[in-house]
């Protein structure tokens, strides 16, 4: 029946976390991230969500770039000053990594959605591949930018 919550139950519960159900009953929350052994598919999934969120902010930066361009040279100079600062550079590096990582992660998910690569070893391999592509593409992208002199510190 509807047992009221007592502190004694918390000690026996594995999670120690409780949720008040809409009907007023207190029930233990199912275990979350901390009980699972880390696995590369987890990492790739979390990275895909985080980079996707970062790219939401990145789209705002691109829109701000267009706005600055449309308002003429003075407005653009203000944008460029921030964009070329060390802070701006860090943001661009983060955004480029997010782009490459999320792009590869998206392709990985499309492969999985097509029903391929779903055995544990294949899923892990695809996860490693997508993360590796994200890191490698970012390094090459910035090496090319610095070597061609388009970006300088």
Partner 1 sequence: MSGHQKTFRNRVKVSERHGAGEWTAERLSALALAPLGLWGAWAGFELAGGGYAGALAWLAQPVNSTLLVLTLLVSFWHMNMGFKVIVEDYIHRPATRGLLLGLSGLLCLVLSAASVFFIVRLALGSAPLPAGFGA
Instruction: Give me the residues that bind partner 1 (CB under 8 A), please.
Output: 49, 52-53, 55-56, 59-60, 62-63, 66-67, 69-73, 75-77, 80, 92, 96, 99-100, 102-103, 106-107, 109-110, 113, 137, 141, 144-145, 149-152
Nearer to partner 1, 122 or 144 (CB): 144
* In the complex, minimum distance from the CB of residue 145 to partner 1, in angstroms, rounded to a whole number: 6
Shortest distance, position 12 Cβ to partner 1, whole Å: 26
- For residues 11-36, one letter each, b for 16 or more C-beta atoms within 10 angstroms of the residue's C-beta and e for the rest, the string is eeeeeeeeeeeeeeeeeeeeeeeeee
* In the complex, least distance from residue 41 CB atom to partner 1, rounded to whole angstroms: 17
What sign results for the dihedral spanned by CA atoms 115, 121, 123, 127? negative
Task: Kindly state the smallest distance separating residue 111's Cβ from partner 1, in Å.
Answer: 11
> Greatest CA separation found in the chain?
72
Which has the closest alpha carbon to 41: 97, 138, 135, 118? 118
For partner 1, the closer CB: 19 or 122: 19
Cβ proximity to partner 1: between 43 and 62 the closer is 62
- Structure tokens, 56: 């939401």
CA 78 to chain centroid, in Å, comes to 29
């Amino acid at each position: 029946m509807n047992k009221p919550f007592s502190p004694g139950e918390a000690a026996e519960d594995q999670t120690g976390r409780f949720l008040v159900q809409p009907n007023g009953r207190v029930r233990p929350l199912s275990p979350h991230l901390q009980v699972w052994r880390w696995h590369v598919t987890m990492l790739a999934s979390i990275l895909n969500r985080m980079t996707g969120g970062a790219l939401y902010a990145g789209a705002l930066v691109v829109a701000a770039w267009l706005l600055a361009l449309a308002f003429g040279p003075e407005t653009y100079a203000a944008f460029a000053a921030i964009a070329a600062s060390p802070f701006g550079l860090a943001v661009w590096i983060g955004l480029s990594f997010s782009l490459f990582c999320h792009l590869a992660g998206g392709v990985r998910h499309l492969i999985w959605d097509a029903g391929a690569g779903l055995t544990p070893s294949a899923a892990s391999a695809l996860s490693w591949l997508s993360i590796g592509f994200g890191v490698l593409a970012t390094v090459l992208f910035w090496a090319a930018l610095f070597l061609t002199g388009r970006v300088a510190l």
